[in-house]
Structures are given as structure tokens and as C-alpha cells.
Structure 1
Amino acid sequence: MSVWRNVGERTVYENRWCQVAMADVELPDGRHLDHTVIRLRPVAVAAVVNEANEVLLLWRHRFITEAWGWELPSGGTGEGEDPAIAAAREFEEETGWRPGPMRLLLAVDPMPGISTSHHRVYWSDQAEQVREVPVDVIESARREWVPLETVPTLIARGEIRSANAVAALLMLHHRRLG
């Protein structure tokens, strides 16, 4: 059996959002290597699809990758917070729409080779607009209902780059239109 074993680690940086550690990893052949481990809070993601099979997306710039793209509303879950409630909260804060009942769509670990970032994506097929301007208006340049049928093209053009959004939107595309 080919198992890498963490035999110990030391923190090299920590703040309220993340912890970066250096792990002493024993490989199956007995050799050791230093491996960076990034520990992050779990992430809750929300997708809402309306009766016209449109999904509400955020158009935003990410300074780290210097790229614009469509994303789903998301954010970290608080200590002990139900991720479905966190997803609904983030959706409302970032869009001005309150989602209906949230159902788990999928759970993904976008970078399991280096990070504990665990993303749970919830979805709803109903929402009510509760404010014209979202609470977190700085989260995106605009918010639009985008037809699910355009998702594969948007991904191919690089307009949807976030791993959790790609996975969730392709799954919703398949469920609703496939």
C-alpha cells in the first residue's frame, strides 16, 4: 500500500483565516520530505437556479491570479456553523437575494495535495430579492442571472475559473438540462 505518513509538523505562519505548516512526511519507501500544508476553514458555496434555468453569478476580479471571472457566492463557515446556513448567509450578503431551502449539491477538496480547504456546495431552486444593493457590494463588480446552457462555453472561454464553481455549475447543468 502506497501511503504517505505525516510524522509531525510545525507551524510557520498562522492568522485567523489560515495556518501554514511544514510537515515531515515519510514516503512509502522510507524517505522523508518536507511538505507544505495549508489549513483553511471550511467553505460554504451557494448556487441558486431560477425557473428559467438561470443561475445567479458574481462577476469579480481576483488580484492573486489577475483574472476576472464568474463565481458562485461563497465564504468561510464559522466555528460550529451549519454550512447550509453559511451558504445561504453568504448568498444573501453577496447578491441581495435570499435563497429558498438549501440542499447539498456536492463536496469538493480543490487542492487536496497541499490544502485542507473543504468546500460544500448547496443549491436552491428559489430565491427572493430582499435588497437592491447587496450588503457585500464590494464582493463583485456585478451580479447576473446567467443561463445554465451557457456554462460549458463560459468554462471553455476561461470565464468560470474557480474549481468549486466549475464543478457545481457543470453538475447543475447536467441535472437541469442533461
Structure 2
Amino acid sequence: MSGDSTRWTVHGSRRIYASPWVNLDLDEVEIPGGRRFDHHVIRFEGPSVGAVIVEDDRVLLTRRHRFTIGRPGWEIPAGWCDEGETPEEAVRREVLEETGYAISSAEHLVTQYSLAGISTHQFQFFVCGGVVQQGEADKSETSQLGWFTWPEVRALLTDGEIPDGCSAAALTFFLSTRR
């Protein structure tokens, strides 16, 4: 947006850490008013995808333990886009890996940046349907699968049983725009 009085100016960037998954940079920024300082930025090479799988007015969620927060929770299937893969191809692959189900439809729901103040990480969410079981869920990614009604999803969100912010955002967006 031209003339935005809240626009920050980046004067330089220095890579502090690099990996195939994530990079950490220290950017020298100037905020409106002229103050300059170093700001950490987490940069990702590509987007991630997530699937709100809807079938017969229920949604399929995966349960897994996240060591980073020290607890399990329910989540939508999600993951990285591999190099050369479109987001739609990635969401189909992730759903199959994490649930054992193939999907016949994937419609873009919303794109969001969950930590826009410090990260370039983009999530593209899809509404998916037409599930057909083709195998088993990858046990390293999913400990349990569950089909939930929308009132049950609301209760899981309210009770903190969906601690993953991206899953909560996708499900809440679906509930607020599609239901």
C-alpha cells in the first residue's frame, strides 16, 4: 500500500541459522518515527497446506502428541509442500499419509500467515471431500483418527483440545464462513 505510514524499512538482513526446513534471519529494520533495531525473522522456503476434510457433515481430525508443547491434541492433516509440488498436490499427499484416506476434491479455503509479525510461514487451507480409505495412517504422524460433528468440533476448540493454532484457525474460518 503506497503511502502507508506504518510501513517498516528493512536496511539489511543476516542469516543466523539455515536448514532445509527453516531459516532464522536478523533483519535491521526502521519503524515509523525513525527508531532502528534488529528484528528476528523466521523464513520458510515454501508454503504449508492443511485439509479440512468434510464428509456427511462431519470433519476428520488426527490426534498426535506434540513434544514442543508437551501434550497431544486434535489437528487437521497438514504439512509442507515438497519442492516442485503444487499446494493441491501437497494436500492430497498429506491427507493420504496422515489418515490413510485419498480425497477426490480439494477446494481452496483461505491462505493465512499465522505469525506475520515474525515469520514468512504461509498456510494454504483446503476443504476436502470424497474420502476413500486406501491404507493406514502413518503411525509416526497420527496416533488416532476421529470423525467429529460440527458441535463436537466447537467443543474441542472451546475446551482447548485443538491446541494447534493453524488447525484452530482453519476450522474456525470454515465454521464462520461455510456453516
User: Please, which moves more after superposition, 80-89 or 10-19?
Assistant: 80-89
Match of 2:173 in 1: 171
RMSD: 1.3
Offset of residue 112 of structure 1: 0.4
Report the secondary structure of 1:117's partner residue: coil
Q: Percent identity?
A: 34
- State the TM-score, normalizing by the size of structure 2: 0.92
1:59-81, Cα deviation, whole Å (9 max, x unpaired)? 11111111211101111112232
Which of 139, 142, 154 is the aligned partner of 2:144?
A: 142
| Counterpart Cα distance in 2 of 1:174 and 1:25 | 36
Structure 2: stretches of 5+ with no match in the other structure: none
**Amino acid in the other structure paired with 1:140:** T
Offset of residue 149 of structure 1: 1.8
| Counterpart Cα distance in 2 of 1:138 and 1:152 | 27
Are 2:52 and 1:47 aligned?
A: yes
Are 2:78 and 1:74 aligned?
A: yes
Are 2:6 and 1:2 aligned?
A: yes
| Counterpart Cα distance in 2 of 1:61 and 1:54 | 23
Match of 1:26 in 2: 30
- State the TM-score, normalizing by the size of structure 1: 0.92
| Counterpart Cα distance in 2 of 1:42 and 1:129 | 26
Contact persistence 1:61–1:69 (CA under 8 A): yes
